[in-house]
Amino acid sequence: MLILDLLKNIDWFPIRLSLQVSLIATGVALAIGVVVAWLLARKRFWGKEWVDAAVTLPLVLPPTVLGYYLLVTLGSRSPIGRAFEDLFGFRLTFTVTAAVIAATIHALPLMIKSVRAAFEDVDPSLENAARTLGSSELRVFFTITVPLAKRAILAAAALAFARALGDFGVTIMIAGNIPQKTQTAAVAIYDAVQAGRDEEAAVLAVIISIFSVIILYTTNRIGKGRW
Amino acid sequence: MLSVQIVKTYNQSSGKSFVLDVDFQVPAGITVLFGASGSGKSTTLHLVAGLVEPERGRIAVGNDLFFDSSSKINLPIKERRVGYVFQQLALFPHLNVINNVAYGLHKLSKGERLQRASAMLEAFAIKHLAERRPNEISGGEAQRVALARALVTRPRLLLLDEPLSALDAIIKQSLIADLKRLNNELNIPILYVTHDRAEVITLGERVLVYSDGKIIAQGQPMDIFGAPAASSVARLAGVENILQGRVKARHTERGTMTCDFGGLEMEIPLTNAAAGETLTVAIRAGDILLAAEEPRRISARNILAGNITKIEEQDFRVLIEVDCGVALRAMLTHEARTELDLKIGRQVWLAIKTHACFILDSTG
């Protein structure tokens, strides 16, 4: 009954927080990602290569570097941070909102890359056919482009969720490590190891691993068209 | 009446630019755009449909302006009401047949939409396929679905981009019959792109011959292909024999002239070409008679003896190449070939009427 005792004694807050943060971050990344991916896949505009590079940057930058930039940009001494404080009455950094931003930024590049590839796979003559049949650009997007890229978008969302769940560096930089407030599972594991609470670290690690395996399995099923 | 005057430049990766510059007016009925691939036929359809914007020009159907660069009018694609059948058909793979056909009727109520779509399926004899997906039907069936989808919105113009190219001969015949019937019912301009000259002859009331972004000839198919005026048209029209020769003697009293084709002399219609001048002559393989014995007392002025060098079997006919000093090709039916017992190396005689020789523009 050792396992049951462990599960009973464990603090579920970081797991719950991680799931909530990742879920919201996936939603935000999906909304932003689909729009940006469509622009990159279908439109020609000035500075397109720069936009492409900018959205890929979080993939190659060390998470702590990214976190540092965000801290400087969104912190209470920056114009954006102050504007946010004036508007909503609380600080942006070291809050759950900051954790969501961190997870979103971490998940976005992969999301944009895979959704863009999915949109590029949609035969443009199908979209043209829809246009000649009297469809507006919005209707073409929602009745042709998105349905045909649906699988890839779902798979990208699952991967984005996994990335969001796994973020450590950006989160600890801008959301911090405040127990019962901004401490996500990934951060809690680090904290537990540092404090020598080995059992807690192990249980959290196993739980996160189980989630990750489930997500990977799901992604593969979607990708192969089984769902 | 569709009237099109457009200019569009494409910068190609090779650094050269391709310029499409066409000007034509066509009434209701089938007009075939004919030419080699890359000559600008499909691009013309794209421009008329509004998928691509011309640099300058004017496109109008009847009194409705689609595009006019001088008054800055560019009607959006969705308001042009153009039926378009794409080369690869572009059926929506995620929708079944009935929903593919109903797609363009989204402004109607659901009941009306399905009613009109299924009436259309019935007209094309494909109602039994209504619930199938595009990947579950045959090529000929998919072709009918694409036509039904384009026509259900009652377009005022129909654009067909090589619609029959992927089909076998028998299905082609039945679809050509469908198209002709449709043409009578619709009474709208139909632009039909193809590079198959058999389709031009069977379908077209008019043909526009494209070459390198320009229209180099237009008129009725039989006029254009029967007596091509330029060697580029003749080559496109698939005239099998194009010979270079030199005028040897003029016979004004007979209305003919003798022409030397380098080892072969023939009597051809008189032109104002002077003796010694070079010219190009086209002879269609179908206009050459082939005899197994030397023909006597025959009206054809040119009787040429030679040996068979090549026998090329095609769908419904055989192309026989005979070396008469110059290689000439004659077209026969399979039956005639069997009856005459033609084999490579055998001596035969070719009979060519003077007026089966078309003198092409030397500049063409």
B81-125 per-position pLDDT tens digit: 999 999 889 999 999 999 999 999 999 999 999 999 999 999 888
The 10s digit of each residue's pLDDT in B250-280 is 998 888 999 999 878 999 988 888 888 888 8
From first to last of the 227 residues of chain A, give the pLDDT tens digit. Answer: 567 777 777 788 999 999 999 999 999 999 999 999 999 999 988 988 899 899 888 888 999 999 999 999 888 888 888 888 888 888 888 889 999 999 999 899 999 999 999 999 999 999 999 999 999 999 999 999 999 999 889 989 998 999 899 899 999 999 988 888 999 999 999 999 999 988 889 989 999 899 889 888 888 887 776 55
CB within 8 Å of B226: residues ≥ 6 apart: none
Is the CB of residue B104 less than 8 Å away from at least one CB of chain A? yes
Q: pLDDT tens digits for A106-155? A: 899 999 999 999 999 999 999 999 999 999 999 999 999 999 999 889 98
Q: For residue A136, give the nearest of B78, B82, B86 by CB distance.
A: B78
Both B263 and B185 in one domain: the answer is no
- A129, B82: Cβ pair inside 8 Å? no
Q: Clarify whether residues B277 and B223 are in a common domain.
A: no
Query: What mean pLDDT, rounded, does chain B reach?
Result: 88
Task: Assign residue B345 the CATH number of its domain.
Answer: 2.40.50.100
**Are A148 and A154 a contacting pair, CB within 8 Å?**
no
The domain tally of chain B equals 2
Whether B93 contacts chain A with CB within 8 A: yes
Q: Are B283 and B149 within one domain?
A: no
Residue of A nearest to B155 (CA): A133
CATH number, residue B18: 3.40.50.300
Q: Could B86 and A147 be called an inter-chain contact, meaning their C-beta atoms sit closer than 8 Å?
A: no
What is the average per-residue pLDDT within B306-318? 87
- Chain B within 8 Å of A24 (Cβ-Cβ)? no
Q: Which residues of A touch B82 (CB under 8 A)?
A: 132
Instruction: Please give the model's pTM, rounded to 2 decimal places.
Output: 0.76
Give the pair of three-digit tokens for residue B147: 């036509």
Cite the beta strand spans of B162-240 per DSSP E: 189-194, 206-211, 214-219
- Statement to judge: residues B232 and B247 lie in one domain: no
Chain A interface includes B78 (CB < 8 A): yes
- Whether residue B41 lies within 8 A of chain A, CB to CB, comes out as no
For A177, half-sphere exposure in the C-beta direction (CA atoms, 13 angstrom radius) is 14
B303 and B347 in one domain?
yes
B303 and B255 inside one domain: yes
B3: β partners: B25, B60
DSSP B238-295: T-SEEEEEEEEEEETTTTEEEEE-SS-EEEEE--SPPTT-EEEEEE-GGG-EEESS--
Among B78, B91, B120, B159, the strongest candidate for a mutation testing the A interface, having the largest count of A CBs within 10 A, is: B78
Residues B52 and B147 reside in one and the same domain: yes
Return d(Cα B317, Cα B337) in angstroms, integer: 9
What is the number of alpha carbons within 13 Å of residue B109 lying toward its C-beta?
A: 2
Of B190, B207, B236, the residue at which a domain comes to its end is B236
Task: List pLDDT tens digits, range B162-201.
Answer: 888 777 767 777 788 888 888 888 889 999 998 877 788 7
State the residue range of the domain holding B326: 241-360
**Based on the domain organization, do B188 and B123 belong to the same domain?**
yes
Instruction: Give the pLDDT confidence score for residue B282 in this predicted structure.
Output: 83
Chain A residues closer than 8 Å to B53 by CB: none
How far does CA B155 lie from the centroid of its chain?
Answer: 23
Do B252 and B297 lie in a common domain? yes
Could you state, in order of their start, the residue ranges of all structural domains in chain A?
Answer: 11-223
Residue from the list B51, B83, B94 with its beta carbon closest to the beta carbon of A147:
B94
Mark whether B219 and B259 lie in a shared domain: no
Terminal Cα distance for chain A, rounded: 37
Class of domain A11-223: mainly alpha
Instruction: Report the chain B residue with the minimal C-alpha distance to residue A139.
Output: B106
For residues B258 and B214, membership in a common domain is answered with: no
DSSP state of B285: G
Are B349 and B245 members of one domain?
yes
Instruction: Flag if A133 and B88 touch (Cβ within 8 Å).
Output: no
Looking at B187, B221, B236, which one is the last position of a domain?
B236
CB contact under 8 Å between A126 and B81, yes or no, is: no
Nearest to A210 by CA among A8, A11, A18, A13: A18
